[in-house]
Amino acid sequence: MTPHPKIDAIVETYLTLADAEAPGLVEGLYLEGSAALGDYRPGASDVDFVAVTSQPPPAGVLERIHTRLGAHPFDGVYLTWDDLGRDPAELGERPQAHAGRLNRRGSVNPVTWHTLARHGLTCRGPKPEELKIWNDPGALAAWTDRNLDLYWRRLVTRAWRPFTPWGLICLGGYGTVWVVTGVARLHYTLATGEITSKSKAARHARETFPERWHRVVDEALRLREEDTALPSAGSVIAGLGDHFGTPRRSLYGSPFERRRDVLGFGDQAISAAHALYRAR
């Protein structure tokens, strides 16, 4: 049983397709991400999975499974049982599914291992606590610190330029939630050594950062709870009513004012997270 009927339906469809295409291939199936962390939002959340096989899957099999699965929001990685006990930095690339497509050369990172070990939700196979899953807090912290610059600093820098893709995305609710909760999650990991959800990360940020940033954090929480912030142009346009409609739902008078605070918070949270890592 999963936290939502929509997840149950997606998991059942996936396993039916996988078993029909390659009986016995998927020996373990676990959920991570928002479903496992108690923060699933059926309108905006993907269903994140780890599928475990005894051997690397045969060429073409996974492509056929995910082609038949279609546009279901079922994103994840294929690992072997042996992979679970190894440092992901030693594994190289593993097949990954994202947005209905399979990438046979996707990179892996320690967040998946730590989330699976501590929060993984079992759909098939032994429970995570019965498995030997690699766990190295130092490696998780080092990866998190690098990711602050390799992904988040680059994203925020681009978004400060208004007529770039991320500059436009950050005018909408999706960009607000993605940036505010994204950098807050990494700050939380470096502060506590744990993995947390988007909503809990935002609450952590509200307790940790100065009052100057409370409004933008509250805005991200509002959007997360309303479950309407999607990565589409239509969602951005529809969200304009939050600022100018009656009653006004947004805590900001304009999307430009909000974007300024989203990116300002992003800059400060990244710097603060780096400081936590240096102080270790």
Same domain, 181 and 256: yes
231 neighbors 215 (Cβ within 8 angstroms): no
172-183 per-position pLDDT tens digit: 999 999 999 999
Provide the residue range defining the domain that includes 219: 137-278
Q: What is the dihedral of CA 172, 204, 208, 174, to 10 degrees?
A: -10
What is the rounded distance in angstroms from the CA atom of residue 141 to the CA atom of residue 110? 9
Q: Write down the pTM of the prediction.
A: 0.94
Task: Give the CA dihedral 19, 37, 269, 233, nearest 10 degrees.
Answer: 60
> Could you tell me the two tokens for 214?
């409370």
Q: Between 246 and 89, where is the model more confident?
A: 89
CA distance 52 to 83: 9
Give the helix/strand (H/E) hosting 10. Answer: helix 5-21
Residues 117 and 160 in one domain: no
| Domain match, 120 and 151 both | no
Residues 231 and 103 both lie in one domain:
no
- The reply to whether 274 and 167 lie within a common domain is yes
Q: How confident is the model at residue 229 (pLDDT cuts 50, 70, 90)?
A: confident
Residues 148, 205: one domain?
yes
Q: Can you give the CATH number for the domain in which 64 is found? A: 3.30.460.10
166 and 223 housed in the same domain: yes
Co-location of 35 and 156 in the same domain: no
* pLDDT score recorded for residue 1: 57
Listed in sequence order, the DSSP H helices in 106-245 are 110-119, 137-147, 154-159, 165-169, 173-192, 198-208, 214-226, 233-244
Last residue of a domain, one of 108, 130, 152: 130
Q: What mean pLDDT, rounded, does the chain reach?
A: 94
Mean pLDDT along residues 229-239: 77
Q: Residue 37: is its pLDDT beyond 90? A: yes
- Identify whether residues 147 and 226 lie together within a single domain: yes
Q: Are residues 18 and 124 in the same domain?
A: yes
| Domain C-terminal end among 104, 130, 156 | 130
Q: Which residues pair with 30 in a beta bridge?
A: 50, 122
User: Do residues 18 and 123 make contact, with C-beta atoms less than 8 angstroms apart?
Assistant: no
Both 79 and 155 in one domain: the answer is no
Q: Indicate the number of domains in the chain.
A: 2
Pairwise CA distance, residues 87 & 93, whole Å:
12
Residue 240's pLDDT is 79
User: Do 26 and 112 lie in a common domain?
Assistant: yes
Domain boundary among 111, 130, 149: 130
